[in-house]
Amino acid sequence: MVRTLNFDLVKNAIENAKQADNFETLAHFEYILSKLLRKVRIMITNSITPNLSDFVLLKRTTELYFLVISIQN
């Protein structure tokens, strides 16, 4: 089973939470994205030859994570 993550949809949800001053939702996004970052790093580390798509996933997830962090601070 392949799961996809719509990064633009997540980014819009983060920005909507920011506009609504919904810090609980932002904290939830921070928690979920930090877990996803850990899993992607482990996946890349454990892979003999990581795909380019793995690194793209890592880059996009990192961007979203830092977006949430910058909004909260």
Mean pLDDT (the chain, rounded): 88
For the entire predicted model, the pTM comes to 0.79
* Lookup: tokens for 29: 């996004």
Q: Which of 24-28, 50-54, 69-73 has the highest mean pLDDT?
A: 24-28
CB 72 within 8 A of CB 27: yes
Reduced to 3 states (helix: H, G, I; strand: E, B; else coil), residue 33 is helix
Q: What is the mean pLDDT of residues 2-23?
A: 87
